[in-house]
Amino acid sequence: MAAFSFEKLVVFGVGLIGGSLVRALRERANTGGAREVVGVGRSAASTVRARELGVIDSAVALDDDRALAAALDGADIVLLAAPVAQTRSLLERIAPFLGAATVITDAGSTKADVVEAARAALGARIGQFVPGHPIAGREASGVEAALPDLYVDRNVVLCPLPENTPAALARIADMWRAAGATVHEMAPPQHDRVLASVSHLPHVLAFAYVEQILQSRDAALRFAFASGGFRDFTRIAASSPEMWRDICIANRDALLEEIDSYTAVLVALRTAIESGDGASLEAVFARSRAARADWQLRAARPAAQSGAYNGDPSGGDPSK
Amino acid sequence: MAAFSFEKLVVFGVGLIGGSLVRALRERANTGGAREVVGVGRSAASTVRARELGVIDSAVALDDDRALAAALDGADIVLLAAPVAQTRSLLERIAPFLGAATVITDAGSTKADVVEAARAALGARIGQFVPGHPIAGREASGVEAALPDLYVDRNVVLCPLPENTPAALARIADMWRAAGATVHEMAPPQHDRVLASVSHLPHVLAFAYVEQILQSRDAALRFAFASGGFRDFTRIAASSPEMWRDICIANRDALLEEIDSYTAVLVALRTAIESGDGASLEAVFARSRAARADWQLRAARPAAQSGAYNGDPSGGDPSK
């Protein structure tokens, strides 16, 4: 585990994502002696549990100017781990108290919209903001679900801005590495396209699938005969409706492109089924199965070690 | 476990499905003393492993008239557990040697096409054929993957024909109950519609999804950043291309209806995303999540006990 030193970390939103990072830095990483972690919530109540669990040392309410100023004073790193739709208002709240030596990062699932919000809120100080996205999670949420090893061998994507200094970027990358993650870099549009494909689209497809059953005349009968394949296929339809509403809207353009190219593939399969074109069906199914099997073999290792995208001329190498 | 008595069982295709039934009857059920199980394969070689494992007592090659006649002589039950596309040719092969006291059943994933094939092959003796579908399986295939508890607490759907006698139907139902399954009855079109919805459609959707990634410019990059949600969503894309080709064609009409109503839901979600209609998105996502959570709670119990479709006026009660 990489060494990583900090004096004060301020986390906006101490839930699964923020709480797991703090636990990782405190319990796993070689981060030296006593360090201070301040949690900021919408209200004092929302951070009580995090303090009880010892994840944070002190809690600050977002609307308390004086406490917020004190929390941000001397902070090395500020992590935004609240719902991504709050990014701009949080950064506007932080801006008046932001010291020149502090680096801000976030954990949002989309990046182009976060960069736009950050530019609007931070103006000339945009260089202090390093956009990030840890690709990790679990079905449970809240600080009780936080785990010190949530990021071990998981991918974290950073989307450096031209205004970021190498030192600011290195501080955030080192933090995630100290939590056990593998750090990659991508441009925001590339990040958003990749995540629309491998995460946002399948969520939409799974939600749509359950909705379609619900709209059928005999929904209850159908559910009664659903089994293992259904269970795995629909597991992501158990995700937070609010979060996925926000992601769909935040990443609209990339997601619409994926939906359209997906629909084109589905239409082609439909045509093959209708015309009884078994050869085409088998060819697509066999290609898919082989690709899925290949992915499974590589999935045990994070992208940087697997080399899964090496040699792809258009994809580039996001890990530099 | 229910008691079930038989003298001779002949299994065409001793793989996962047929092998698991035999193991269940031999190892779990109260089926009395020494009973004979004969396996029939395309060639002698294909049944060698089943004999080595003790799943069958003797093996017969499909093209050996004399051995096939001897195998079918005095058989209580014949189970067709070979690929469903072979149903008609297998029944035509069996017909000349079929005794009046033998009941045939099958394990095919579709039923309307199987009934049609059986009527064509058996003619006036169609009453001896009880169409069936055990809704169970695992990713591994072949007789080595056969398990004695594969059918425990799983649903088996029988699609009785008007020509079936109560005794013939009871013999097949008792066999599956002896293996631990819960037996339901449906008309073939109802079976095919329900399975198109909860099994065939999600397979097509998952295959189409992996294919869409493969068609993208940066497929390797995308796969490199796929994680847990992707894994579960695409697990069924690891299924047999040949089997799913056959199922798609065999259940074409019902599957096309499901694809069309699914596409309509996806188009509606696309419109909501494009217009930034967060309320509609959240409503659909919340409905889906609630339905999925409700299903999960019921899924631990087979349909007959869960009452999942009771009170549904259009669905009826397939378990009578």
pLDDT in tens, A36-77: 999 999 876 678 999 999 999 999 999 999 999 999 999 999
> Can you list the residues of chain A whose pLDDT is less than 50?
33-34, 304-320
- Average of per-residue pLDDT values in chain B: 90
Polymer length of chain B: 320
d(CA B154, CA B179): 10
Cross-chain Cβ contact A314/B193 below 8 Å: no
Whether residue B275 lies within 8 A of chain A, CB to CB, comes out as no
Q: Which residue in B195, B245, B259 has the most chain A C-beta atoms within 10 A of its own C-beta, making it the best mutation to test that interface?
A: B245
Whether residue B113 lies within 8 A of chain A, CB to CB, comes out as no
CATH domain B190-302 topology: 6-phosphogluconate dehydrogenase C-terminal fold (1.10.3660)
Residue B200's Cβ-count burial label (10 Å; 0-12, 13-18, 19+) is buried
B263 has a pLDDT exceeding 60: yes
pLDDT of residue B31: 65
Cross-chain Cβ contact B225/A266 below 8 Å: no
Q: What chain A residue is nearest to B261 in terms of C-alpha separation?
A: A212
Across the range B93-105, mean pLDDT stands at: 98
The minimum CA-CA distance between B110 and chain A, rounded to whole Å, is 14
CATH 1.10.3660.10 at A190-275, yes or no: yes
pLDDT of residue B301: 57
pLDDT of residue B35: 82
Q: What chain A residue is nearest to B203 in terms of C-alpha separation?
A: A229
Among candidates A211, A285, A296 on the partner chain, residue whose Cβ is nearest the Cβ of B288: A211
pLDDT of residue A1: 52
Share of chain B above pLDDT 70, in %: 90
Measured between beta carbons, the chain B residues lying within 8 angstroms of A233 are 202, 205-206, 232-233, 235-236
pLDDT of residue A228: 82
B169 has a pLDDT exceeding 80: yes
- pLDDT tens profile B42-88: 876 678 999 999 999 999 999 999 999 999 999 999 999 998 889 99
B317 has a pLDDT exceeding 60: no
Contacts across the A-B interface (CB distance below 8 Å): 344
Q: What chain A residue is nearest to B302 in terms of C-alpha separation?
A: A224
Whether residue A297 lies within 8 A of chain B, CB to CB, comes out as no
- pLDDT tens profile B173-225: 999 999 999 999 999 999 999 999 999 999 999 999 999 999 999 999 999 99
pLDDT of residue B1: 52
Cross-chain Cβ contact A252/B276 below 8 Å: yes
Whether residue A286 lies within 8 A of chain B, CB to CB, comes out as yes
Cross-chain Cβ contact A289/B237 below 8 Å: yes
Global ipTM: 0.88
Measured between beta carbons, the chain B residues lying within 8 angstroms of A273 are 204, 248-249, 252, 255-256, 259
B304 has a pLDDT exceeding 80: no
Strands B129-130 and B132-135 come out as unpaired
3-state helix/strand/coil string of chain A: CCECCCCEEEEECCCHHHHHHHHHHHHCCECCCCCEEEEEECCCHHHHHHHHCCCCCEEEECCCHHHHHHHHCCCCEEEECCCHHHHHHHHHHHHHHCCCCCEEEECCCCCHHHHHHHHHHHHHHHHHEECEEEECCCCCCCHHHCCCCCCCCCEEEECCCCCCCHHHHHHHHHHHHHCCCEEEECCHHHHHHHHHHHHHHHHHHHHHHHHHHHCCCCHHHHHHCCCHHHHHHCHHHHCCHHHHHHHHHHCHHHHHHHHHHHHHHHHHHHHHHHCCCHHHHHHHHHHHHHHHHHHHHHHCCCHHHHCCCCCCCCCCCCCC
The minimum CA-CA distance between A272 and chain B, rounded to whole Å, is 9
Q: What chain B residue is nearest to A318 in terms of C-alpha separation?
A: B221
Cross-chain Cβ contact A198/B237 below 8 Å: no
A contact residues 163-222, partner B, Cβ 8 Å cutoff: 190, 193-195, 197-199, 201-222
pLDDT of residue A47: 87
| Domain A8-186 architecture | 3-Layer(aba) Sandwich (3.40)
Cross-chain Cβ contact A309/B205 below 8 Å: no
Return the exposure string of B241-275: e unless at least 16 CB atoms fall within 10 Å of the residue's CB, then b: bebbbbbbbbbbebbeebbebbbebbebbbebbee
Task: Report which of residues B141 and B1 the model is more confident about.
Answer: B141
pLDDT of residue A307: 36
Cross-chain Cβ contact A249/B289 below 8 Å: no
3-state helix/strand/coil string of chain B: CCECCCCEEEEECCCHHHHHHHHHHHHCCECCCCCEEEEEECCCHHHHHHHHCCCCCEEEECCCHHHHHHHHCCCCEEEECCCHHHHHHHHHHHHHHCCCCCEEEECCCCCHHHHHHHHHHHHHHHHHEECEEEECCCCCCCHHHCCCCCCCCCEEEECCCCCCCHHHHHHHHHHHHHCCCEEEECCHHHHHHHHHHHHHHHHHHHHHHHHHHHCCCCHHHHHHCCCHHHHHHCHHHHCCHHHHHHHHHHCHHHHHHHHHHHHHHHHHHHHHHHCCCHHHHHHHHHHHHHHHHHHHHHHCCCHHHHCCCCCCCCCCCCCC
- The domain segmentation of chain B, as residue ranges, is 8-186, 190-302
Measure CA of the first residue to CA of the last residue in chain A; give whole Å.
Answer: 21
Whether residue B227 lies within 8 A of chain A, CB to CB, comes out as yes
Q: What chain A residue is nearest to B201 in terms of C-alpha separation?
A: A209
Across the range B18-38, mean pLDDT stands at: 82
pLDDT of residue A60: 94
pLDDT of residue B52: 94
Residue A90's Cβ-count burial label (10 Å; 0-12, 13-18, 19+) is buried
pLDDT of residue A32: 56
CB B218 within 8 A of CB A315: yes
B164 has a pLDDT exceeding 90: yes
